[in-house]
A and B are shown apart, each in its own frame.
Chain A
Amino acid sequence: MSKMNLTRRGVIQTGAVAGAAGLTLPTYLRADGHSGFTNAPEGSSVTLGFNVPQTGPYADEGADELRAYELAVEHLNGGGDGGLMNTFSSKALQGNGILGKKVEYVTGDTQTKSDAARASARSMIEKDGAVMITGGSSSGVAVAVQALCQEAGVIFMAGLTHSNDTTGKDKKANGFRHFFNSYMSGAALAPILANNYGTDRKAYHLTADYNWGYTTEEAVRTSTEAMGWETVAAVKTPLTQTDFSSYIAPVLQSGADVLVLNHYGGNMVNSLTNAVQFGLRDKQVNGKNFEIVVPLYSRLMAKGAGANVKGIFGSTNWHWSLQDEGSKAFVQSFGTKYGFPPSQAAHTCYVQALLYADAVERAGSFNPCAVGEALEDFEFDGMGNGPTLYRGEDHQCFKDVLVVKGKENPTSEFDLLEIVEVTPTSQVTYDASIFGGELGACNPGA
């Protein structure tokens, strides 16, 4: 069938072109590894990768994270008022970049999809030479990107991710998380719930049908059952659900007197609104007032749910109304630059960026293994959460957890949550081995 005509002239011409191409000699051929680790910064600057959701359900959080990162870069490079660098207990950072190198950054859009997040992280590592990746607003994305960074040999500083898995069964030596997790939420909430609602309650769980929902439900269940509550039912709701009426209706027939909404973001806004519209909170069941609990709260969610959040308990990583020096400094410099207080997502991302920079300074190298060593079992203070420990066994931060309540009389559109109690670290600390998983060895890449 071949109808290919190879003429002598054609062959010679092709050969000549190929030869010419071959003669253009390369200056040098390099394989990775000349510097000992992936993307060792050359020259006078270092590139960090900020991988946040700019589109999709968590775009609001992502935008706030990006603001926080820009602020952190400004402070690291010596601009602005220095923010948390002034209150941070470690004084290694000089405001002259990191190790004297000016901090530059690239941004990407995770779209809250693991594939997109990994693609954008890989392009930051492979194309832009980022030596650290940080950000994200979902546990699925955090786990996916963390694994990628482990493979590529760069440090991953997780953004907002609350699932136990991130530093539990999916933990990686190159990944670090400052944010708290489901277990801590459960442990912090349970005593408050017992104090306010008694120990003989019947709980009904509505759980978002994905990993974060499962771990949160389990954490809240275990800790509330331990103090005497009974779990009547736990119903999974699809993540894409926007109308929860059909899930709320059976709650009243079940004989339960507490509804736990293991929902986040838009899910929580919708389910809570539905529950309140059904008049759940005005009901009396088993001779007690019907109550609603939201394990993970954020200011952005409270804003979405409006007046419905009044009096509802939940937990949060940080809140701008905290009155310690660190929190005040951060709210001050964020507010000056952007005109409104930061969210908890912004706070954790800002702190992560600073912690990374500080670890590099103290290690004296960008090598992920050296940085990891500097972060492991690092104790610090002045970052808005009180004394904090970066535990070496699972790369999880241990710090106080805030139990908050929707404010009855908000004074502004940002003043929606009030802090009920600051649960001390000791009460939310757990053994590193309970979630399984293997940290593995640190990977410097190359």
Chain B
Amino acid sequence: MFGLEAKDFRLLLLVALLTMAAPFILNPFPVDSGMAQFNAGYPDLMQRFVIFGIFAIGFNILFGLTGYLSFGHAAFLGVGSYAAMWMMKLLTMNVIPGILVSVVVAGIFSLAVGWISLRRSGIYFSILTLAFAQMSYSLAYSVLTPITGGETGLQPKVTDPRILDAALTGNAPKANLFGLEMGSSTDLVMGGWVFTFNVGYYVAAVVMIFAFYMSIRIFRSPFGMMLRAVKSNQQRLNYTGLNAKPYTLAAFVISGMYAGLAGGLMVAMDTQVGAERMFWTASGEVVLMSILGGVGTLIGPVLGAGAIKYMENILSKINKDILYEWFAFLPDGLQDFVITLVYPFIGKGWHLTLGLIFMAVVIFLPGGLVEGGQRIAAMFKRKKPSDNTPDGKTTPAE
């Protein structure tokens, strides 16, 4: 269906089902229970899951297929965000023009960056992209302050021109899709559980499913095959008389457009953009997401993005008081001891936990979380040796 093989279609269907049912899946604990701390089904985080999912899917098209490690993808995300924000300031608070323009602008920008950076490969390529991203960050942070708002960033204001919209009366402008506000939610209360359905999340989720579908098509296309050829042996490719650069450049631009799309969506969901979105750590984050999930796999980057965003938003919010509540059943001395042990890994120490998990994954599951899933599945399945095709979905990249 949709030009996909049955296996891929099932995967797409699974992703679609999971994203659509996310408000249920991510809120497994009743609101009043102690475990509610771990619920992730609130609009902001759900939106972040899918948006960073898109970012990682796009990044994976470049890194997973061609093996070119870009360390500057956050720049495209940022450029897309700024473009979308300006559309919202100048044209309309409707998210459609913003998202479209963010993809186009990020595409053009990545064409320029890719044109130069792709003259080199390997570590030199990575450094070039990193340099471009840091340059963009510095420009946005200070020199381009009139356009980017500098440190303070940009937000839509009541007084912005917005030529397509009717004049606002008093209140803050809100991003919408033909009048449907991105921020509006409906709560479904079932017993102790509350499930939140947010308009913005579903808009972003539909876009992500489409982005995921596109990525499957690219993975399975002859073009995708060429990209894999670049990864496995570019020299051999050159000797056969093929010029690899148009292919790598196309992959670079496509993944840049994905990043722009993610940036545009970020602005659509939360109408604010700041320069630190382009900082090199943000570029590093998407590399982590891909590796954590499984480079070169279809679903891996989405899982990696989810895992990192979950830790950033849930683990980092556990503070000492909550720990005291949890371990209240222990005798005093022991309680303090346990809390001293656990405390460095939560709250502001979530980076430490992330680092440990990342190390564990790289050492024990080089194929990322996807490999972990496969190993678990293999434990319950009978061996079917012939089924093992190197189709990109089940094969770890390196």
Residues of A bordering B, CB below 8 Å: 1-5, 24, 26-32, 54-55, 59, 106-109, 113-115, 118-120, 122-123, 126-127, 138-140, 143-144, 147-148, 150-152, 163, 165, 170, 172, 209-212, 214, 236, 238-239, 438, 440-441, 443
Contacts and interface: CB of A to CB of B under 8 A. Distances in A.
B259 to A, nearest CB: 15
Nearest to A129: B31
A122 B155 CA distance: 16
A443 B169 CA distance: 12
B153 A143 contact: yes
Q: How large is the interface on B (under 10, 10 to 19, 20 to 34, 35 or more residues)?
A: 35 or more
Contact of B171 (A109, A138, A443): A443
> Taking each of B152, B171, B277, B279, which has the highest tally of chain A beta carbons within 10 Å of its own beta carbon?
B152
A56 to B, nearest CB: 10
A170 B150 CA distance: 13
B393 interface: no
A209 B188 CA distance: 48
Contact of B44 (A31, A107, A122, A139): A122
A57 B38 CA distance: 28
Nearest to A107: B319
Given A1-B4, A119-B313, 15 more contacts: A2-B4, A2-B9, A113-B279, A120-B316, A126-B42, A127-B44, A140-B153, A143-B153, A151-B172, A151-B183, A210-B142, A211-B145, A212-B151, A239-B151, A440-B171
B3 A1 contact: yes
B45 interface: yes
Interface string B187-206: 11111000010000000000
Contacts of B42: 123, 126-127
Interface stretch (B114-122, B248-256, B266-274, B376-384): B266-274
Contacts of B270: 118, 122, 148
Interface of B: 1-6, 9, 39, 42-45, 48, 138, 141-142, 145, 150-153, 155, 157-159, 170-172, 174, 183-191, 196, 270-272, 274, 276-277, 279, 312-313, 316-317, 319, 347-348, 351
A126 B45 CA distance: 10
Contacts of B191: 27
A24 B189 CA distance: 12
Contact of B152 (A54, A170, A172): A170
Contact of B170 (A31, A163, A165, A440): A440
A144 B81 CA distance: 15
B188 A26 contact: yes
Contact of B187 (A30, A150, A163): A30
**Closest 7 pairs between A and B when the two form their complex, measured CB to CB:** A114-B274, A210-B151, A441-B170, A122-B44, A54-B348, A140-B151, A209-B142
B59 to A, nearest CB: 18
A266 to B, nearest CB: 16
B112 to A, nearest CB: 24
Given A165-B152, A211-B152, A109 B348 contact: yes
Contacts of B277: 115
Nearest to B313: A123
A113 B276 contact: yes
B171 A236 contact: no
A151 B174 contact: yes
A351 to B, nearest CB: 22
B317 A120 contact: yes
A108 B151 contact: no
B50 to A, nearest CB: 14
Contacts of B171: 440-441, 443
A27 B190 contact: yes
B172 A150 contact: yes
B276 A115 contact: yes
A163 B150 CA distance: 13
A3 B4 CA distance: 8
A217 to B, nearest CB: 13
Given A118-B270, A147-B155, A440-B158, A2 B1 contact: yes
